[in-house]
Chain A
Amino acid sequence: MTVTINHFLVVSFLLFAIGFFGVLVRRNFLTVLMSVELMLNAVNLNLIAFSRRLSDLTGQVFSVFVITIAAGEAAIGLALTISLFRQRKTLNVEEADVLKG
């Protein structure tokens, strides 16, 4: 069986959907962050699959960018986590529903 672009797309779609679902329903802030990472990597997979298919390096370059941004996002997200926990003594996102700190 040859691996076509459709396989990649299906995997990518599933990963993205799982990630999105996680973002929507999980209560734990850490899990939400991890779900976001999942979505980002789904996008990366998609980009690379198309890059390969179209023989255009732009997609790969973009995925490198996405990885870089994801690193930054993780750093800031974890900092927020710590900050949130110090403020509220909980990581439940449902309780973080006011703009006031």
Chain B
Amino acid sequence: MKELIWAIPLFPLAGFLVNGFLYLAGMRRRGERERHPEGVQPAVESVKEHGHPHAHLHPETHPPFKSAHTIVGTVSVALSCLFAFGAIFDVGWKSLAHGAVQIVTLYRWIPLGVNQSVGHVPGPLGDWFVDVAFRLDSLSALMIAFVTFVGFLIHVYSVGYMGHDRGYGRYFAYLNLFMFAMLVLVLADNFLLLFVGWEGVGLCSYLLIGYDYHKKTAADAGKKAFVVNRIGDFGFILGIFGIFALFGSLEFTKVFSAAAADPARYAPYMTLVCLCLFLGACGKSAQFPLYVWLPDAMAGPTPVSALIHAATMVTAGVYMVVRCNVLFRLSPRALVVVAIIGAFTAVFAATIGIVQNDIKKVLAYSTVSQLGYMFLACGAGAFVAGIFHVLTHAFFKACLFLGSGSVIHALAGEQDVRKMGGLAPKIPTTYRTFLIATLAISGVPFFAGFFSKDAILSAVYEARFEGVPSLAKVLWAAALVTAGLTAFYMFRLVSLTFYGKYRGTEEREAAIHESPKSMTIPLIILAALSIVGGYVGIEFVDWGNLIKPFLSPILLPIAPEAAEGHAALGREIALMAASVAVAGAGILLAWTWYAKRQGRPAERLAQRWPGVYRVLSNKYYVDEFYEAVFVEGFAKEGGAFLWDFDATVVDLIPNGAAAVTRGLSWVAAAFDEYVVDGLVNGVANTLQAAYQGFRKAETGRVQNYALFMGGGLFAIVAVYLFFR
């Protein structure tokens, strides 16, 4: 079973191929592309896009091969999930926790410096190669377990959510391709294969954001995500080059053990390499300043936002930083940068989240903020806490997104919270699961988010940053503020959506309905996990923390490293109390303002400080800034500036050069005519006399040539034999 690790990503790949071909076959059979009839009213279109609630009126919208797509799409992921758990149980949780590593090499991908017929080439190129190899250790086991499981739930959810979409098959093909790429990413045994998965998930993200390609916003959002990610990938690939240059290998085991064994040798280069890697992580995991694509990515279908842009793909950056923890720990400066960027992003995105009115946008900024939390944990050296938060965040954020999808489904495509309200009794299952996930993300005790958030907060409080002793406290305060903001905006969202009175049109109110079973059951499972998911890491009891010893094998000991201090129990409880108090305050404030008093206090605040409100609701004008500086500035204004510069300054050089050249060329002409021409003609005449003889040999008859050839060969052999 454990040798079958390679099968885990291959099931979704097969699913992708089958779904893709079926989809194309279906299109061909109808002799059309997915038709988006010209002149469709936007309202109709938005209804259509979000799972048609009146589909029984339009039987012809039934997508071709629908049941085949459903079966192939979900079963392939289910199989991959089964195999993932099978492989993990086969190796055993216990032995994984003791550092067991299962590596399955499929084939040698790039045999640099290895000649197949000669064997190893001596010299520095001798051992360089890249394999396609999968690696199962405790970190990747945890990742594949939750990626395949959450992925499976979201596939099931999509069956209901996308049921009436014409591009059903295309959707499942892309979703399966995404699962394949994500599994390659987390199972890869070297940086290059990791990069393949990394680009693969980026591609699928692009394809799925732009799934409704006939809508300009969706297509633009896809492009934006792709371009912004390229900036990060540029850093990532430079980091990979750096690692290859330093260690002469891209295999995780070799690189990390070499770095851990000889920190003094590699530490000086690590700051640069780690910052390059972190740039990649910033792009993929939407950290400041590359976070701008994630809020726009909400143009994709909601299950995609849940799977790719909340639970799995965006945590790839965190995964990569944790995977490279040995390298990062060698560079305290890089860790400081990671922590500061993480903390800043957490606060920054949370403040934007407060004033957003699109239910998915709030969740998107919340995701950016929570990812900042994870990086803050990594920066503080608490890699395990970071991954713990990845895990719990996957559960509750997927639940929140799917819940918001269910709300949108119920309201036939409405995403503006100002037109919602009072939905709790109408869609009770969605409400309950959404509330549980909200409690979890807010850090209310005994829900999953509480444990992981608390682990991060105490780790940051205890962290020691080299050279900046007070930084830890500042970052801790930022994280605490973020916790309060998170609780506030999440309860604002719950209050606006589910409490109070319905604020939309009556006609819509009548059509509100609970989602089908295929959507509610994944919600219930994820809500359950949002409660129990945190109990693997109870921080302050020795036997309670299961995740820390489980993940400890990936934290290779570095030669001269001080033992990690553990917070005293009393202080830990005080920290916990602080975070609970802040979360409670946020929840209470939001509930009073938005549920009890219908948002009036907030409106008053917005009126009192219109500037602040405008800045926040315009997301600090970062998009506008990028537009002005990079798009308009560098691309357009920069072009005009360069044109002027070219016409005035640069042209001086060619004009001056032309004048000088004209003078010189007159001299040269004279020289040319008498000296050079004389030489050339002389040479030509000499040669002409010489080749008159050879000309005769050029008969065009093959047999003559054969004779010359034979004669020549004979002459050479004769001379050789004679002088031997």
- Picked from A24, A98, A99, the residue with its CB within 8 Å of the CB of B703 is A24
B710 in contact with A97 (CB, 8 Å)? no
A94, B699: Cα distance in complex, Å:
10
When each residue 70-101 of chain A gets 1 if its CB lies under 8 Å from chain B and 0 otherwise, what string results? 00000000000000000000000110111100
Q: Which residues of A contact B701 (CB under 8 A)?
A: 93-94, 97
Q: Which residues of A contact B699 (CB under 8 A)?
A: 97
A20 in contact with B710 (CB, 8 Å)? yes
Looking across the interface, which residue of chain B has its beta carbon closest to that of A20?
A: B710
Judge if B702 is at the interface, Cβ distance under 8 Å.
yes
When each residue 53-71 of chain A gets 1 if its CB lies under 8 Å from chain B and 0 otherwise, what string results? 0000000000000000000
B710 in contact with A25 (CB, 8 Å)? no
B700 in contact with A97 (CB, 8 Å)? yes
A24 in contact with B706 (CB, 8 Å)? yes
B window 701-716: CB within 8 A of A = 701-703, 706-707, 710
Judge if A23 is at the interface, Cβ distance under 8 Å.
yes
Nearest CB on B from A73, distance (A): 15
Q: Which residues of A contact B710 (CB under 8 A)?
A: 20, 24
B707 in contact with A24 (CB, 8 Å)? yes
A45, B702: Cα distance in complex, Å:
26
A20, B699: Cα distance in complex, Å:
19
A23 in contact with B703 (CB, 8 Å)? yes
Q: How many A-B residue pairs have CB under 8 A?
A: 21
Q: Which residues of B contact A93 (CB under 8 A)?
A: 701-703
Q: Which residues of A contact B702 (CB under 8 A)?
A: 93, 96
A49, B707: Cα distance in complex, Å:
27
A96, B699: Cα distance in complex, Å:
11
Q: Which residues of B contact A98 (CB under 8 A)?
A: 700
Looking across the interface, which residue of chain B has its beta carbon closest to that of A99?
A: B700
When each residue 6-28 of chain A gets 1 if its CB lies under 8 Å from chain B and 0 otherwise, what string results? 00000000000000100111000
Looking across the interface, which residue of chain A has its beta carbon closest to that of B707?
A: A24
Q: Which residues of B contact A32 (CB under 8 A)?
A: 703
Q: Which residues of B contact A20 (CB under 8 A)?
A: 706, 710
Nearest CB on A from B172, distance (A): 49
Looking across the interface, which residue of chain B has its beta carbon closest to that of A25?
A: B703
B window 657-702: CB within 8 A of A = 699-702
A20, B707: Cα distance in complex, Å:
9
Looking across the interface, which residue of chain A has its beta carbon closest to that of B701?
A: A97
A23 in contact with B706 (CB, 8 Å)? yes
A20, B702: Cα distance in complex, Å:
13
Looking across the interface, which residue of chain B has its beta carbon closest to that of A96?
A: B702
Q: Which residues of B contact A24 (CB under 8 A)?
A: 703, 706-707, 710
Nearest CB on A from B711, distance (A): 10
Nearest CB on A from B721, distance (A): 15
When each residue 23-42 of chain A gets 1 if its CB lies under 8 Å from chain B and 0 otherwise, what string results? 11100000010000000000
A20, B706: Cα distance in complex, Å:
9
A25, B701: Cα distance in complex, Å:
11
A86, B534: Cα distance in complex, Å:
86
A2, B535: Cα distance in complex, Å:
93
Q: Which residues of B contact A99 (CB under 8 A)?
A: 700
A25, B706: Cα distance in complex, Å:
10
Looking across the interface, which residue of chain A has its beta carbon closest to that of B702?
A: A93
Nearest CB on A from B1, distance (A): 45
Nearest CB on B from A2, distance (A): 28
Q: Which residues of B contact A23 (CB under 8 A)?
A: 703, 706
A32, B706: Cα distance in complex, Å:
11
A90, B702: Cα distance in complex, Å:
16
A32, B703: Cα distance in complex, Å:
9
Looking across the interface, which residue of chain B has its beta carbon closest to that of A26?
A: B703
Q: Which residues of A contact B706 (CB under 8 A)?
A: 20, 23-24
A98, B700: Cα distance in complex, Å:
6
Looking across the interface, which residue of chain A has its beta carbon closest to that of B699?
A: A97
A94, B706: Cα distance in complex, Å:
13
Nearest CB on A from B120, distance (A): 25
Q: Which residues of B contact A96 (CB under 8 A)?
A: 702
Looking across the interface, which residue of chain B has its beta carbon closest to that of A21?
A: B710
B window 560-619: CB within 8 A of A = none
Most chain A beta-carbon contacts within 10 A, residue among B700, B701, B703, B706: B703
A32, B707: Cα distance in complex, Å:
13
Q: Which residues of B contact A25 (CB under 8 A)?
A: 703
A97, B710: Cα distance in complex, Å:
19
Looking across the interface, which residue of chain B has its beta carbon closest to that of A94?
A: B701
Nearest CB on B from A90, distance (A): 14
A20, B708: Cα distance in complex, Å:
12
Nearest CB on B from A29, distance (A): 10
Nearest CB on B from A66, distance (A): 18
When each residue 519-558 of chain B gets 1 if its CB lies under 8 Å from chain A and 0 otherwise, what string results? 0000000000000000000000000000000000000000
A18, B701: Cα distance in complex, Å:
20
Q: What are 8 contact pairs spanning A and B, CB under 8 A?
A: A20-B706, A23-B706, A24-B707, A24-B710, A32-B703, A93-B702, A96-B702, A97-B701
Interface residues of chain A, those whose CB is within 8 Å of chain B, are 20, 23-25, 32, 93-94, 96-99
Nearest 6 CB-CB pairs, A to B? A97-B700, A97-B701, A24-B707, A24-B703, A23-B706, A24-B706
Instruction: Beyond the given A20-B706, A99-B700, please list 18 additional residue pairs across the A-B interface where CB-CB is below 8 A.
Output: A20-B710, A23-B703, A23-B706, A24-B703, A24-B706, A24-B707, A24-B710, A25-B703, A32-B703, A93-B701, A93-B702, A93-B703, A94-B701, A96-B702, A97-B699, A97-B700, A97-B701, A98-B700
